[in-house]
Amino acid sequence: MKYSIYIILVVLFFVYLGCSKEELEVEPVNEFLSENFYQTDDQVFSALVAAYDPMGWTMAFGQWISEVMFNEIRSDNANAGGDPSNNDQPGWQEFDDFTNTNTNTVIHAMYRRFYIGIFRANLVIYKPENTSPAIDRYQAEAKFLRAYYHFELFKHFGPIPLVNEALTPADIDRSRNTLSEIFLSIEQDLQDAINVLPVSVSSSEAGRASKGAAQALLGKVYIYWADLLGDDVAKFDQAATQLRSVVESGVYELEDDYAALYAFSVKNPAESVFEIQKTNLYPSDWGWFEGIEGNGIVQLCGVRGLCSAHPEYQEGWGFMLPTPSLVDFYLGDDQYRMDAAIISEAELAQDIEDAGASCDVVVDNTQGNPVDNTGYWQEKYANFKAYEGNNTNGGDPNLTKDDNIYSIRYADVLLMLAEAIHRGSGSDNEAMIYIDEVRERAAGPGDNTGNFRTANQLMSDQSWSLLDVIWYERRAEFAMEGDRWFDLVRSGRANVQLFAGDPIRTGNFTEKHLWLPIALEETSVAPNLTEFPDPSLFQ
């Protein structure tokens, strides 16, 4: 789409050079401004595509921005990594070490990205003067997007300004809303979307919101809301209602092979409830300051210093390195999930040997961050050699690797449902049914009935509560996918004890770091906007 715009501009430039003054002096034909653009179904759909676009940005405004990286690096799952200087991408090093301030270089890009998405969604919601079944659906999708962006802002920054109208340049000085105001708005947007969106989307519509995606997101919102209100049973019950509807729809199912979810070119499998689409069709390069179309995580988080003889993987830049805490977290009978999420230097060496190749040095660790290196790397966003040459329109090959990003998987729906039932007024026996579905698949492909420990057995063997089992499952299932930090914050488990053995983090962490500060660029032009949320707003 962006490439086409460039072509049109070039063509218009040469047409201009070939025109006489008389030819240029004509009435404007087919000219569209924001006031008269949203007239047809096609025009509103174009605006909707623009509203989806910020969701997939992994680099924008000259900064790497990724919820996956933030959630993992901020938590006890991963260290920042990077080059030997220990200052590669300083904004991300600050997130890792809890030294970020309101001048952190990444924070403003994150904040702008989500509000750009809200602004574009509001245009789809409010600008069209006509109506049609197609426009009704586009506006329902826009409400889903507005809810999604507000929720992401809240998870990063706490109570933020709620924007449910198309703003003008004069509307710059916004103040923070309360938790309840924000979540009530998100709830209404998602309920409106659920009433209109189709139960499922076709393969040609992959990446668009469905009823199931909206219900799953609303279920997640209710769980956060319940947690932050101090274990609100009624909110957990509301979450269970929405999530149970997703399960009962019959649209989604767990993939038989957990590892296959992260194989090269796998996109939108049956387990994907909502997935952020990436593409190599546009020539993304370092000048694209409004969001590259590829998935920057792939190159950023590949193995730095990897020998070129590896049969599957090429070298990356070594970010988002698994911590010893995560490596040691997995139970002895949960190696299949661990192997899908994390790879060691010994495993890389074995891959090379199995391929009949050899390397003097499997991983040149002198190229990586000596403070953060643990001898392990993430593997869910693997930097496959197969990405070489898949960029069909030029651009930087490091920025055009088109691995999609799971936003909500069916496994997440099952585990959220189990949590909502257990922490609400439901039956623990029902909750364990959904946990055991996830645990059976985690044992490996094929029929594993009887070959895995059930939730009930784990409680007995490990002396765990059912909630302990749920916390274990969430960390093991979604490691390196971007859920960990927000799970810790919303459940009150983000504390200094998580980082025992890491003197930098334990020395810097305070409760202030549960939320990011709003960037100085924003608060300096909006006097009513505070850097951090006041505790009174969490009501």
β-bridge mates for residue 343, sequence order: 377
Question: How confident is the model at residue 33, as a pLDDT?
Answer: 56
The verdict on pTM exceeding 0.75 is yes
Question: How confident is the model at residue 286, as a pLDDT?
Answer: 76
For the cut 50, the answer to whether the pLDDT of residue 384 exceeds it is: yes
Question: How confident is the model at residue 292, as a pLDDT?
Answer: 82
Q: What is the mean pLDDT of residues 62-79?
A: 96
Question: How confident is the model at residue 7, as a pLDDT?
Answer: 30
User: What are the distances in angstroms from CA 20 to CA 13, 164, 215?
Assistant: 13, 47, 58
Question: How confident is the model at residue 396, as a pLDDT?
Answer: 83
For the cut 80, the answer to whether the pLDDT of residue 431 exceeds it is: yes
Q: What is the mean pLDDT of residues 239-261?
A: 98
3 state DSSP class of 384: strand
Question: How confident is the model at residue 398, as a pLDDT?
Answer: 86
For the cut 90, the answer to whether the pLDDT of residue 137 exceeds it is: yes
Between 93 and 172, the more confident residue is 93
Share of the chain above pLDDT 90, in %: 83
401 Cβ contact list (under 8 Å, min separation 6)? 278, 280, 294, 295, 298, 299, 383, 387, 390
Strand 376-378, strand 342-344: pairing: antiparallel
194-249 confidence digits (pLDDT tens): 999 999 999 999 999 999 999 999 999 999 999 999 999 999 999 999 999 999 99
CB atoms near residue 521 (< 10 Å): 14
Question: How confident is the model at residue 159, as a pLDDT?
Answer: 98
Q: Give 282's pLDDT tier (boundaries 50, 70, 90).
A: confident
Amino acid symbol at 330: Y
Q: What is the mean pLDDT of residues 109-114?
A: 96
β-bridge mates for residue 409, sequence order: 272
310-355 confidence digits (pLDDT tens): 999 999 999 999 999 999 999 999 999 999 999 999 999 999 999 9
Q: Give 479's pLDDT tier (boundaries 50, 70, 90).
A: very high
Closest-CA residue to 421 (of 271, 240, 256): 240
| Distance from the Cα of residue 201 to its chain's centroid | 20
Question: How confident is the model at residue 35, as a pLDDT?
Answer: 67
Could you write out the three-class secondary structure of 290-317? CCCCCCHHHHHCCCCCECCCCCCECCCC
Question: How confident is the model at residue 280, as a pLDDT?
Answer: 85
CB atoms near residue 232 (< 10 Å): 18
Question: How confident is the model at residue 32, as a pLDDT?
Answer: 53
365-395: b (≥16 Cβ within 10 Å) or e: bebbbebbbbebbbbbbbbbeebeeebeeeb
| Distance from the Cα of residue 237 to its chain's centroid | 26
Question: How confident is the model at residue 34, as a pLDDT?
Answer: 62
Supply the mean pLDDT for the chain.
91
For the cut 60, the answer to whether the pLDDT of residue 99 exceeds it is: yes
CB atoms near residue 40 (< 10 Å): 14
State the Cα–Cα distance between residues 3 and 506, nearest whole angstrom: 47
